[in-house]
Amino acid sequence: MSIIKLLSKKLERTIFTTPTHNQKAIFSQNYDCFYKDDFSEIEGYDNLSNPKTHILMAQGKASDIMNTKNTYFVTQGATVAILAAMKALINPADKVLVARNCHKSIFSGLVITAGCVDWFMPETDKSWGIYTKINPKKLESTLQLNKYKAFIMTSPTYEGVNSNIKKIAEICKKYDTYLIVDEAHGSLYNFSDILPQTAINQGADVSINSLHKTAGALNQTALLNINKNIRNTDSNIFQKALNLFHTTSPSYPLLANIEACLTYLNSKKGYDEIQNLLLEIDKFKNELKRYGVEFFEDEFHDPTKLFLKKDGLSGFDLSEFMYKDFKIEDELNNSIGCMYLCGIGTTKQKLEKLKVALKKIQTNPSFEPIYTEFQPFPLVKIQPVDTFNRDYIFINKQDSLLKISNKMIIPYPPGIGLLYPGEAIQKWHLDYLDKDVEVII
């Protein structure tokens, strides 16, 4: 089917995925603007690569709102904001410590910057099958052993787990290591006193937000935030890095959408919408807990990520039945549970629909959960920068043990790498590999 035909069909399902805006314009934007306001950088409209007037003002306002030294608008997703942050702070051969539950864009950043990676394993929760927090003590022991230019981590995780950034930022500062926090999933934090604090307000040097995930903005809108107290950086280095990756034809409708989104979130209306959403989520959870639904919760958990399991069903089964029987689609599922994502645009009616379905869903009393093993510590044989254009051959999976992979294994979502090019294939990986495996020679 053509894309045009596909989009002309009504979406006959309820989606709890990104973006959360419910396919409705929440702030002053609609589809017409894509044609009406679709300019290149014509006279009088400023220029994203060297902003001097309107864009500079809008970004300045954003930086006041976000409490940053600079907040840059990005129209190519958190991915480009991450690449720019890495390019600005990491030089070839710099050692970089990266939490293994990072998004795949960080591997791209390692290829582009030629930084040398050491992986850092976050804590895990086996009963939910997810990565959780960064352990500050373990981080400090790692930073004592080696000098790292930067530590890159994700907080919140896809499932809403937040690390103690304040503590982590203190440790990174002590060892003169930049802290880059991928806060793609935490774009609402600056606008609520119930949600966790932003990474920037807790001391991260740089943070990245995807406004399109939960903040009601359009796909590809993102922010790159720089801390007021960042050490030893050229004040123009982030703009310079962004200019390496940003299109020279940024979309004005997307730039306006970013501005409108931040203005809305920073208003009483935006604040109230988040408060009401959190209230509705609280009621939703309290009611469903009486129907055999268990929610993932911990200290600093972001409640807008409804990661839940139902007694008597695996996450895979729950996801399938919810889709088949109720036409409700989750953002993510694993062998234990499903994650239903909420944010700006998630209505009470939508939550009600989810609640009714979760109450009704049939379960199997003899079901036993299967707890999957987490990936082993990665064995990096070739640094990311040297893996990009290598000669490779295909070999039989049975013969691939300890050979060096030329491919990534990245289930999406969440886009966390199980194996990257340059890493040795371990026994654990075999289940995820095709019959013929691409290895570097």
List the one residue from 14, 20, 154, 346 that touches ligand PLP (CB under 6 A).
Answer: 154
Decide: helix, strand or coil at residue 329.
strand
List the one residue from 153, 169, 184, 288 that touches ligand PLP (CB under 6 A).
Answer: 184
In the complex, minimum distance from the CB of residue 409 to ligand PLP, in angstroms, rounded to a whole number: 16
Q: Is 182 in the site for ligand PLP (CB under 6 A)?
A: yes
List the one residue from 15, 26, 58, 78 that touches ligand PLP (CB under 6 A).
Answer: 78
* CA 231 to each of CA 40, 165, 234, 298: distance values in angstroms, whole numbers, following the listed order: 35, 17, 9, 33
Q: Is 153 in the site for ligand PLP (CB under 6 A)?
A: no
Q: Is 304 in the site for ligand PLP (CB under 6 A)?
A: no
Compute the chain's Rg from CA coordinates. 22
Euclidean distance between CA atoms 64 and 99, whole angstroms: 30
Q: Which stretch binds ligand PLP (CB under 6 A): 39-47, 56-64, 72-80, 285-293?
A: 72-80
Instruction: Name the residue with tokens 């679709």.
Output: 38
Decide: helix, strand or coil at residue 164.
coil
List the one residue from 71, 105, 163, 214 that touches ligand PLP (CB under 6 A).
Answer: 105
In the complex, minimum distance from the CB of residue 413 to ligand PLP, in angstroms, rounded to a whole number: 6
Decide: helix, strand or coil at residue 338.
strand
Q: Is 369 in the site for ligand PLP (CB under 6 A)?
A: no
Q: Is 103 in the site for ligand PLP (CB under 6 A)?
A: yes
* Residue with Cβ nearer ligand PLP (77 or 203): 77
Per 3-state DSSP, the chain is made up of helix, strand and coil in percentages (nearest 5) of 35, 15, 45
* Residue with Cβ nearer ligand PLP (161 or 308): 161
Q: Is 77 in the site for ligand PLP (CB under 6 A)?
A: yes
User: 309: which strand partners?
Assistant: 294
* Residue with Cβ nearer ligand PLP (182 or 317): 182
Q: At what angle do helices 54-66 and 252-265 cross, to 10 degrees?
A: 30
* Residue with Cβ nearer ligand PLP (169 or 254): 254
* Residue with Cβ nearer ligand PLP (105 or 225): 105
Nearest by Cα to 84 from 97, 96, 72: 72
* Residue with Cβ nearer ligand PLP (75 or 319): 75
Site string for ligand PLP, 191-210 (x = CB under 6 A): -------------------x
Instruction: Name the residue with tokens 């939910």.
Output: 128
Q: Are 166 and 194 in contact (CB under 8 A)?
A: no
Residue 224 CB coordination number (10 Å): 26
Residue nearest to ligand PLP (CB): 77
Instruction: Name the residue with tokens 């729950």.
Output: 318
Question: Residues near 429 by Cβ (< 8 Å), separated by ≥ 6?
Answer: 375, 405, 409, 418, 419
Helix residue ranges, H only, 266-407: 268-288, 315-326, 348-360
User: 120: which strand partners?
Assistant: 99
Phi, psi of 220 (to 5 degrees): 85, 0
In the complex, minimum distance from the CB of residue 315 to ligand PLP, in angstroms, rounded to a whole number: 18
List the one residue from 79, 202, 333, 334 that touches ligand PLP (CB under 6 A).
Answer: 79
Q: Is 331 in the site for ligand PLP (CB under 6 A)?
A: no
Structure tokens at 363: 């379960």
Structure tokens at 190: 């600056």
Q: Which stretch binds ligand PLP (CB under 6 A): 61-69, 77-85, 122-130, 340-348?
A: 77-85
In the complex, minimum distance from the CB of residue 159 to ligand PLP, in angstroms, rounded to a whole number: 11
* Residue with Cβ nearer ligand PLP (79 or 304): 79
* Residue with Cβ nearer ligand PLP (27 or 158): 158
DSSP 213-281: HHSSPPTT-EEEEE-TT--S--TTHHHHHHHHHS-SS--HHHHHHHHHHHHHHTSHHHHHHHHHHHHHH
Decide: helix, strand or coil at residue 46.
coil
The interface with ligand PLP within residues 335-354 (CB under 6 A) comprises none
Q: Are 224 and 77 in contact (CB under 8 A)?
A: no
Nearest by Cα to 219 from 417, 74, 15, 84: 74
* Residue with Cβ nearer ligand PLP (86 or 313): 86
Q: Is 222 in the site for ligand PLP (CB under 6 A)?
A: yes
Nearest by Cα to 129 from 411, 338, 418: 338
Total residues contacting ligand PLP by CB under 6 A comes to 14
Q: Is 415 in the site for ligand PLP (CB under 6 A)?
A: yes
In the complex, minimum distance from the CB of residue 412 to ligand PLP, in angstroms, rounded to a whole number: 8
* Residue with Cβ nearer ligand PLP (182 or 302): 182
- Residues near ligand PLP (CB under 6 A): 77-79, 103, 105, 154, 158, 182, 184-185, 210, 222, 414-415
